[in-house]
Amino acid sequence: MTRNVRWAGRVARILVAVLVLGLYGALLPPWKYLTLIGLIPLASGLTGFDPFIAWLGARRRGRADAR
């Protein structure tokens, strides 16, 4: 798995994830579980790999190669 998120993007994702996950204890039960979505940017920030970016890159390369 190659890294496709640069250093600044990784730091931004980790910061956003920590902020969103920090709301878990402050919100009431129906809304607190939505904060778990912060695990996605945390995982991509820690690993440096974003599957959505990889998928978009593959689709763009595929379209460019077809022309």
pLDDT in tens, 27-41: 999 899 999 999 999
| Domain ranges for the chain | 7-66
What would the two tokens of residue 17 be? Answer: 């994830």
pLDDT in tens, 4-59: 999 999 999 999 999 999 999 999 998 999 999 999 999 999 999 999 998 888 77
* Cβ-contact 46, 14 below 8 angstroms: yes
What would the two tokens of residue 14 be? Answer: 């980790």
Q: Predicted confidence band at 1 (pLDDT cuts at 50, 70, 90)?
A: confident
**CB count, 10 Å around CB of 10?**
19
What would the two tokens of residue 62 be? Answer: 């595929």
Task: Give the helix/strand (H/E) hosting 46.
Answer: helix 39-47
What is the reported pTM? 0.78
Q: Name the DSSP letter for residue 48.
A: S
